[in-house]
Amino acid sequence: MRRCLLAGTASWLAAAWLAAATPAAAFIAYVSNEKGNTVSVIDTDNWAVTKTIKVGQRPRGIDFTRDGKFVLVAVGDDDTIQVIDAATQQVVDTLPSGPDPELFVQDAAGKVLYVANENDNTVTVIDLEKRVRIGDVQVGVEPEGMAISPDGKILINTSETTNMAHFIDTATRQIVANVLVDARPRFAEFKRDGSELWVSSEIGGTVSIIDPAKREVTGKITFSIPGMRREAIQPVGIGMTKDGKTAFIALGPANRIAIVDGASHQVTKYLLVGQRVWHMAFTPDEKYLLVTNGVSNDVSIIDVVAQKVIKTIQVGELPWGIAIAQP
Amino acid sequence: MIRLFVGAIGLGVLATSALAADPVEIGIGYLHRAGVKPTLSLVEQPAENDGLAGARLAIEDNNTTGKFLNQHFALEELRLKDGDDAARAAVALADRKIGFIIADLPADALLKAADAVRDRGTVLFNAGAIDDRLREEDCRANVIHAAPTRSMLADGLAQYLVWKQWKRWMLVVGSHEEDKLFAEALRRAASRFGAKIVQERVFEDSGGARRTDSGVTLIQRQMPVFTQQAPAYDVLVAADESEVFAPYLPYRTWDPRPVAGSAGLVPKSWDAAQDQWGAVQMQNRFLKLNSRHMTALDMQAWTAARMIGEAVTRKNSGDPKSVLDFLKGPDFSIAAFKGQRLTLRDWNLQLRQPILLADGRMIVSVSPQEGFLHQVSELDTLGLDRPETKCKLH
């Protein structure tokens, strides 16, 4: 974090030299361990776990607040979201989410938090400054994936048993459109320019490309791995580079990350990672992508440019989500 | 009352989509068999609404989706009494413009009901009968099977026992017809997957009360004696669908051996202990609605009603023919909290599904087991496969 700020003040050349000379700029990654009830803290300088924080029951969705000061982690079985102080690396507060929070997303200003509550078909709206619940939106059965459009106007929620991406107007908190996708949609991600919305369907085995203006599916990414049965290919987490040119898709029990061309939507490569690969996060410089492997209890580090797995780090039991502070 | 309250909260949502036109109404019938099967274990005694409760939950799930698409699902329940004619009941439902019937009926009654409404275009979903013949020589073009077959259950168990290297089985078979059918499926599974039945014994049902005040004392003497002098074996496999003796076997065998089949490690489509792959949400929703745990029959009925919902959603039509065509086609799959998509075997309309192995408290394993390979789907290592089928759909 500090190293990155320094690099920012240095000249471009100096920064490039620094990056080349050291294996990694130091960032801090937080990994939620669903079964371990812990959060592992990884230092990306030496790729090592520096701390394990005890949290509530069944931690899954995890993210930094926009100011980088706090880490929010949804602890579903405790029906709340815990707030970890990034400076002291301790749980300092809780947020009033609905029952069984799983994934959440913030608005650009970091003032409003939208939480998918799996157990009661709602999206809960929380004021992050006052830390109070300010509203609910009724959605489909088992809400899960959450995304917010780059212009902040549309909130996306996917519901796993209803198999839809719900488009919610953030001003009125009303559903304005519902787009059917394949079975068990888990994760939603916008391209930074707002031109496409990608939704992964775990059981359907596809990623739907949705035109956010027309609000309809315009294409589907499919996967095929020689020797791998079709049912084992279960896309979940999605990570896209800021330029929208390259996407990485976690394929769950297929133990692979698919690398997808952002323009053609074709898979260009499969990377073998750990078992039941789930979610992912880029380092802010986009040099590395960290992915969580639930069944093998580790995190794989992918060199984004070389498109290679360079290292594996053991973390807690059943790693699920991951967040890295953006400077 | 609760429903109304939820409706009021959801009004904003409804206003944007549902008030444009009258919703598409989809009526689903639910036909129960007469009576409830008595069990040896008091805690396993099925509830009055066993199965129906699962269908009700699926209707709620379908309606949550339906409110976004202007579709409404309703369940019509019809419980047969002893001696009632299943065919007449099915016709009565068809007369009420019900295009889909979820059936929890014995094999013969199911066939009668299906044949009685075949010309009406009604599609039946078999939620309760595991007989292989309904998918083989007695298959019907208007019956979709959400329940697994005996051979799927037997194969799911056998794969695990073989994986565990418990390959020498002592098979104990009850004296009723369905016990013999299950034994037949277990013999087939043993020979397919490389287990050996070292001996078979028959446990005769001599009648008598299932519960007596001094029951345990007697059973504790009976069961060791019944299982003594067996050749060397790894696991006792019991075929006792009639619930006469199998639940008495664990901890009472002459040799200290695990029990599987109708007691001990039991193969089933669902269990209240299943908590993987998002199943906890399902178990929670079920518990909230019904104040009890979810059984295999509940799950089979839930899956049947969800299959209808899925097809109606995708085709945007409640027409039974359109639903049937979609379910038979290549685009159909359904998520049912078993870690992978479930699809239909197009040659006999059987739903492919993993088989859970439960010990009464926990899920011990889920079949197909790793290493049992198949050229089309590993789920087709469970049960009779396409090349062996006797089904001719018309």
What would the pLDDT profile of B268-322 be if each residue is shown by its tens digit? 999 999 999 989 999 999 999 999 999 999 999 999 999 999 999 999 999 999 9
What pLDDT was estimated at residue A228? 86
Does any CB of chain A come closer than 8 Å to the CB of residue B63?
Answer: no
Statement: residue B9 has pLDDT above 60 = no
Higher-pLDDT residue of B368, B20: B368
- The pTM of the full predicted model, rounded to 2 decimals, is 0.86
The reply to whether B41 and B81 lie within a common domain is: yes
Q: What is A110-150 written as a DSSP string?
A: S-EEEEEETTTTEEEEEETTTTEEEEEEE-SSSEEEEEE-T
Q: CA B322, CA A127: separation in Å to the nearest integer?
A: 46
Same domain membership, residue B291 and residue B280: yes
Which of chain B's residues have a Cβ under 8 Å away from the Cβ of A159?
Answer: 65
Separation CA A193–CA A149 (nearest Å): 9
> Do B11 and B139 fall into the same domain?
yes
Preferred mutation among B13, B287, B307, B373 to probe A, highest tally of A CBs within 10 A: B13
Region B335-349: what's the mean pLDDT? 95
Backbone φ/ψ region at B272: left (φ over 0), alpha (ψ -120 to 50), beta: alpha
In a domain, B223, yes or no: yes
Q: Which amino acid is at B119?
A: D
Q: Would you call B285 an interface residue with chain A, using a CB distance cutoff of 8 Å? A: yes
Q: Quote the CA–CA distance of B262 and B185 in Å, as a whole number.
A: 13
Whether B285 maps to a domain, the answer reads yes
Strand B24-32 relative to strand B71-79, pairing:
parallel
Closest partner residue to A142 (CB to CB) among B16, B281, B339 is B281
The rounded distance, in Å, linking the Cα atoms of A323 and A281 is 6
Q: How much is the CA Rg of chain A, to the nearest whole Å? A: 19
pLDDT at B209: 66
- What is the widest separation between alpha-carbon atoms in chain A? 53
CB contact under 8 A, B68 and A175: yes
Q: Which of A161, A166, A174 best tests the B interface by mutation, with the highest count of B CBs <10 A?
A: A161
Alpha helices in B70-176 (DSSP H): 86-95, 107-116, 150-163
- Average of per-residue pLDDT values in chain B: 92
Do B163 and B78 belong together in one domain? no
- CB neighbours of residue B386 within 10 Å: 12
Residue B167 has phi, psi (to 5 degrees) of -100, -15
Cα A22 from Cα A4, distance rounded (Å): 12
Q: Are residues B140 and B24 in the same domain?
A: yes
For residue A141, give the nearest of B10, B64, B378 by CB distance.
Answer: B64
d(CA B185, CA B304): 24
In a domain, B390, yes or no: no
Task: Indicate the number of domains in chain A.
Answer: 1
Residue for token pair 């996306």: A156
Which is it for the CA torsion B91, B94, B96, B102, positive or negative?
positive
Strand partners, A70: A85
**Distance, CA of B346 to CA of B369 (rounded, Å):** 23
Burial profile A175-203: b = 16 or more Cβ within 10 angstroms, e = fewer: bebbbbbbbbbbbbbbbeeeebbbbbbbb
pLDDT in tens, B203-242: 998 877 666 666 677 888 899 999 999 999 999 999 999 9
Nearest chain A residue to B339, by CA = A203
Long-range contacts of B287-291 (CB under 8 A, 24+ apart): B289/B53, B289/B56, B289/B57, B289/B60, B290/B47, B290/B49, B290/B53, B290/B56, B290/B57
Q: How far is CA B128 from CA B31, B145, B149, B303, B326, in A?
A: 10, 9, 10, 12, 23
Main-chain dihedrals φ then ψ at residue B80, nearest 5 degrees: -75, 150
Q: How confident is the model at residue B184 (pLDDT cuts 50, 70, 90)?
A: very high
* Nearest by CB: A183 against B10, B285, B341: B341
At position A82, the amino acid (one-letter code) is: Q
Numbered residues of chain A with Cβ closer than 8 Å to any chain B Cβ: 100, 118-119, 121, 136, 138, 140-142, 159-164, 166, 174-176, 178, 180, 182-184, 202-205, 229-232, 234, 253
Question: Hey, what are A244's tokens?
Answer: 């929208």
> Which residues constitute the domain of residue B244?
151-267
CB contact under 8 A, A100 and B313: no
For the record, the structure tokens of B186 come out as 């277990």
Q: B339 and chain A: CB distance < 8 Å anywhere?
A: yes
Comparing alpha-carbon positions, the chain B residue that sits nearest to A179 is B68
Contact between A145 and A188 under an 8 Å Cβ cutoff? The reply is yes
CB neighbours (10 Å) of residue B33? 20
Question: Distance between CA atoms of A192 and A241, rounded to whole angstroms?
Answer: 9
Please tell me what DSSP assigns to residue B123: E
Query: Which among B6, B16, B306 is the top mutation candidate for probing chain A, defined by the most A β-carbons within 10 Å of its own β-carbon?
Result: B16
Query: Is there a single domain that holds both residue B187 and residue B86?
Result: no
Residues whose CB is less than 8 angstroms from the CB of residue B2 and which lie 6 or more positions away in sequence, other chains included: none
Going residue by residue through chain A, which has 327 residues, state the pLDDT in tens, using 9 for 90 and above. Answer: 444 444 444 444 444 444 444 444 589 999 999 999 999 999 999 999 999 999 999 999 999 999 999 999 999 999 999 999 999 999 999 998 888 899 999 999 999 999 998 878 999 999 999 999 999 999 999 999 999 999 999 999 999 999 999 999 999 999 999 999 999 999 999 999 999 999 999 999 999 999 999 999 999 999 999 988 888 899 999 999 999 999 999 999 999 999 999 999 999 999 999 999 999 999 999 999 999 999 999 999 999 999 999 999 999 999 999 999 876
Give yes or no: residues B211 and B318 share one domain: no
Per-residue pLDDT reduced to its tens digit, B48-102: 999 999 999 999 999 999 999 999 999 999 999 998 999 999 999 999 999 999 9
> In a mutagenesis test of the B interface, which of A200, A220, A231 is the best target, namely the one with the most B β-carbons within 10 Å?
A231
Q: Residue A82, Cα to own-chain centre: how many angstroms?
A: 17
Contact B188, B156 (CB under 8 A): no
Of B224, B250, B267, which one is at a domain's C-terminal end? Answer: B267
Would you call B334 an interface residue with chain A, using a CB distance cutoff of 8 Å?
yes
**Which residues of A are less than 8 Å from B307 in CB distance?**
none
Q: In this predicted model, what pLDDT tens digit does every residue of B154-168 receive, in sequence order?
A: 999 999 999 999 999
The H or E element that residue B297 is part of is: helix B296-315
The token duo for A53 is 């924080």
- Give the total residue count for chain B: 394
Rg of the Cα atoms in chain B? 22
Strand partners, B103: B31, B126
Q: How does residue B38 score in pLDDT terms, banded at 50, 70 and 90?
A: confident
* Residues B193 and B133 grouped into a single domain: no
What are the E-state strand segments in B250-362?
259-261, 266-268, 344-345, 350-351, 355-358
Per DSSP, B341 falls in state -
pLDDT per position as a tens digit, B97-145 = 999 999 999 999 999 999 999 999 999 999 999 999 999 999 999 999 9
CA distance A64 to chain B (A): 25
Number of Cβ atoms within 10 Å of the Cβ of A311: 15
Q: Which domain holds residue A56?
A: 2-324
Name the 3-class secondary structure at A257: strand
Cβ contacts from A onto B, under 8 A: 81
Residue B123 lies in a domain: yes
The C-alpha atoms of residue B316 and residue B319 are separated, in whole angstroms, by: 9
In a domain, B242, yes or no: yes
B113 and B37: one domain? Answer: yes
As given in the structure block, the two tokens for residue A220 are 């589907």
Q: Assess whether pLDDT exceeds 80 at residue B379.
A: yes
Is the Cβ pair A140, B314 closer than 8 Å?
Answer: no
Q: Which helix (H) or strand (E) holds B69?
A: helix B52-69
CATH code for position A101 = 2.130.10.10
**Which pLDDT score, from 0 to 100, does residue B213 have?**
65
What residues of chain B lie within 8 A of the CB of A230, using their CB? 377
Sign of CA dihedral B311, B312, B313, B317: positive
Measured CA to CA, the distance from residue A90 to residue A73 in angstroms comes to 12
Closest Cβ opposite residue A141 in set B61, B314, B377? B61
Statement to judge: residues B144 and B183 lie in one domain: no
Contact A277, A293 (CB under 8 A): yes
Helix (H, G, I), strand (E, B) or coil at B200: strand
Instruction: State the pLDDT at residue B216.
Output: 74
CB-CB under 8 Å, B377 with A230: yes
- Cβ neighbourhood burial of A244 (10 Å; 0-12, 13-18, 19+): middle
Q: Are residues B111 and B16 both part of a single domain?
A: yes
pLDDT value, residue B247: 95
Within 10 angstroms of residue A6's Cβ, the number of other Cβ atoms is 12
Q: Is the pLDDT of residue B196 over 50?
A: yes
What is the CATH classification number for the domain harbouring B328? Answer: 3.40.50.2300
Chain A hits for B69, Cβ within 8 Å: 178
Number of other residues whose CB lies within 10 A of the CB of residue B62: 27
Query: How far apart, in whole angstroms, are the C-alpha atoms of residue B92 and residue A129?
Result: 60
Quote the pLDDT of residue B1: 39
B185 shares a domain with B242: yes
ipTM of the complex: 0.79
Q: What is the pLDDT of residue B218?
A: 80
Please state the domain count of chain B.
Answer: 2
